[in-house]
Amino acid sequence: MISFLKRVHSPRAWAVLVAITLAFGLGVPILNVGVPESSALHISNGTVLLLGKFACYAMAGIALDLVWGYVGILSLGHGLFFALGGYAMGMYLMLSIGDQGVYRSNLPDFMVFLDWKELPWFWRGFDKFGFALAMMIIVPGGLAFVTGFLAFRSRIRGVYLSIITQALTYAFMLLFFRNDTGFGGNNGLTNFKLIYGYSLQDHSTKLALYVITIATLFATYLLCRVITTSKLGSVLRAVRDAESKTRFSGYDPLAFKLFAWTLSAVLCGIAGGLYVPQVGIINPSEMEPANSIEMVIWVAVGGRGTLGGAALGAFVVNAAKSWFTVAAPEIWLFFLGGLFVAVTLALPDGLVSIGRYLPKLRPAPRG
């Protein structure tokens, strides 16, 4: 066990990782509940919600970094997998409302409004929490497996693969925007009330979801770290750096790329499933190509091929977005573009590498 921990991280890195996890996972709830609102140390309910969202984004960033940083697959469509996981959870939450909706019907309100008489076949089973959790994994994972197999078998890569992922996301967005597809159209799914019998309006439920999200983020990082530091990770990097040579060495790049691609989609789906009950809505706008491009920026800003950098980038960029969209929304996109260019030029390895550059910025001592 000790040798395993040393292989994944140094003792110092483990101490930092555990300290950060405990600070966010336990420290934030304690400062939210146990500290009076009048205190400067109090963390508001809104801040807890934001941190929960950022943690979901960090999971998606790590998932993208797994395929982009370690396999060399630049995906411009990971927002699709995130949204599909969110829709799987949203469908369960909609059915959990029961007859407490506006129209007092066992059907979701938007179906009653559109004069639907019964649930579509693809909604059946989503009244069970376990089924929804399974679909949160199977749907994005299954779609990634099929599309990845077809693309990788045809040896499509580089910019062509990136364009295909973006086109796929855009096609699904247009499909989900239609009212007759049964996913709520442009309004999506919202007005959730219960999750596994617990009220989503209770602050204790929101804190529990937050802690679960932080724990899942830690598990996601650890899983990807184990993979990338193993022999499997070495093969993944070989596929990234010299796919043809890897093939000639007896390894089938298709299998390795498909594994990483499918796992990445599954992790994104889980992140989306945790995101929806915390924000209270899921709609097709989550599939907009711009969202997937933002994920790429998170990874690039934080540090591609580092996992931790991807999570850091997700927190930093989204914290800046939350502030700018309130204080100065008209300059947010300019700031985002400027941040991306600045980090790319000044810190090619991302914010996570800033410690290596600080000594170089110190003035040389005078002789």
Tens digit of each residue's pLDDT (9 = 90 or more) over 276-295? 999 999 999 999 999 999 99
Give pLDDT tens digits for 106-157. 889 889 888 888 999 999 999 999 999 999 999 999 999 999 999 999 999 9
Question: What DSSP state is assigned to residue 8?
Answer: H
CB 268 within 8 A of CB 60: yes
Residue 366 has pLDDT above 70, yes or no: no
Handedness of CA 344, 350, 351, 353 (dihedral sign): negative
Residue 283 one-letter amino acid: N
Strands 198-199 and 194-195: what pairing?
antiparallel
Residue 363 has pLDDT above 60, yes or no: no
Residue 19 has pLDDT above 80, yes or no: yes
pLDDT at site 220: 97
Distance separating alpha carbons of residues 165 and 170, to the nearest angstrom: 9
Question: What DSSP state is assigned to residue 281?
Answer: E
Query: 7-11, 194-198, 305-309, 329-333: lowest mean pLDDT where?
Result: 7-11
pLDDT confidence band for 96 (50 / 70 / 90)? very high
The percent of residues in the chain predicted with pLDDT above 70, rounded, is 95
**CA distance readout (Å), 356 to 13, 112, 240, 352:** 16, 59, 25, 9
> Domain locations in the chain?
1-43, 45-289
Question: What DSSP state is assigned to residue 280?
Answer: T
* Phi, psi torsion values for 119, nearest 5 degrees: -65, 140
- Summary mean pLDDT of the chain: 91
pLDDT at site 360: 57
How many Cα atoms occupy the beta-carbon half-sphere of 353 within 13 Å?
17
Give pLDDT tens digits for 245-278. 999 999 999 999 999 999 999 999 999 999 999 9
